[in-house]
Amino acid sequence: MNKKTVRDIDVTRKRVLVRADLNVPFAPDTTTITDDGRIRAGLPTLHYLRERGARIILCSHLGRPNGRVVDGLSLKPVAQRLEQLLGQPVAFTRNCIGTEVEEAIAALNPGQLLLLENLRFHQEEEENDTAFARALASLAEVYVNDAFGTAHRVHASTEGVAHYMPAVAGLLMEQEIEMLGRTLEHPRRPLCAVMGGAKVSDKLGVLEHLLPRVNGLLIGGGMAATFLRAIGHPVGASLLEKDKVDLAAGILHQAEELGISFGLPQDVVVAETFSAESPSKVVSVDQIPDGWHIMDIGPQTVQSFQERLRKCCTILWNGPLGVMEYKRFAEGTTAIANLLANLTDATTIIGGGSTAEAVAVMGLADRMTHVSTGGGASLEFLEGRELPGIAVLLDKEVA
């Protein structure tokens, strides 16, 4: 990684503005956090700063309030959870700029932490408004971006603020860049990518970028329907991107030319309607009934995918292999997750988003080598794009 990190800059007793990704899920109509993984992921950076007596000003977004104050999207419950995890008080302000914030910062002692209210209560945040970015920058002497999950956004707190003060990566940001970057450029081989999710269009850039880099590619989820149609199979009423069938065929042809082991479902679980309670059955991919929906990969496919993955040294997985929101159609995803969790000699990288949520719900996140905190950011990174929130950080000096 050629970007400076918090280790490369003096933060001792300084005011440090930390952009974190505290966009955590809550139980419906409550302030109960259902998964604090993103909060925990940022703790190493906070511990590092506390140990050096920095005055920490933490900021984040939560949800999509669209520039309005929404009580249900306040970060106050996150401040309370942070207090529990850190074992020390966490101050909280009802705004992220202004007199109240400035007074709270002035009251901070070395090693203490202040969490600002939801940045997106101000529409200027997502607009990357210059005045708003300057106001945030005026709060501190150093900026640390530890929010990989928002690094693909050109917002005031992720890109704009870095133009007005020394800007470096946090320890989580560093880990994300190094783990995903190493997987793309210097993996232990064989390297296999497992790609799922609903649409080929969502992963097209990733597939094209990965093809020359992987030894194997396995396809599941809703996007498999487009690939199955590309080789002539019926897909019933499954989600089909007709305008992407030729592109899918092209990817299959390119994989063959490159000598990449390409795996598509051999059998699938289909349902009469797209619902949790619909009648379902397992069929071969050449026997999908008219009007039925592909809901999961079938048992033969699970076994085939597992056999291939056991031979790999590095595995990158992005996207569920079935309709995860319905438990009875999550068996394929669960089986692959359990296999990866038990591969003691393989490097297993979970590419964020719904896949990261799935392994967290299963209690398997700690048994993966790395679970990315980025959804869209992970996809854009894996496509080979430069992320604005990373590009704006200070470069390391070349020796």
Catalytic residue IDs = 38, 199, 353, 376
Under 8 Å between Cβ of 305 and 264: no
Is the torsion defined by CA of 267, 272, 277, 281 positive or negative?
A: negative
**331 backbone dihedrals φ, ψ, rounded to 5°:** -65, -40
Calpha distance 48→7 (Å, rounded): 9
Give the angle subtended at the CA of 150 by the CAs of 35 and 222, to the nearest 5°.
Answer: 70
> Residue 299, Cβ neighbours under 10 Å: how many?
15
> What is the rounded CA–CA span in Å between residue 216 and residue 309?
9
Name the residue with tokens 């319905």.
326
SS3 397: coil
Residue 234, preceding peptide bond in cis (omega within 30° of 0): no
Helical spans, DSSP H, in the chain: 37-41, 43-51, 76-86, 99-106, 123-126, 130-137, 171-185, 200-210, 224-230, 245-258, 299-310, 331-341, 353-361, 376-382, 388-391
Read off the DSSP letter of residue 98: S
Query: Cα dihedral sign for 25, 125, 373, 86?
Result: negative
Distance in Å from the first CA to the final CA of the chain: 14
> What is the distance between the alpha carbons of residues 354 and 199, in angstroms, rounded to a whole number?
14
Q: Which amino acid is at 48?
A: Y
Contacts of 355 (CB under 8 A, 6+ apart): 196, 317, 318, 319, 320
Dist CA 307 CA 151 (whole Å): 36
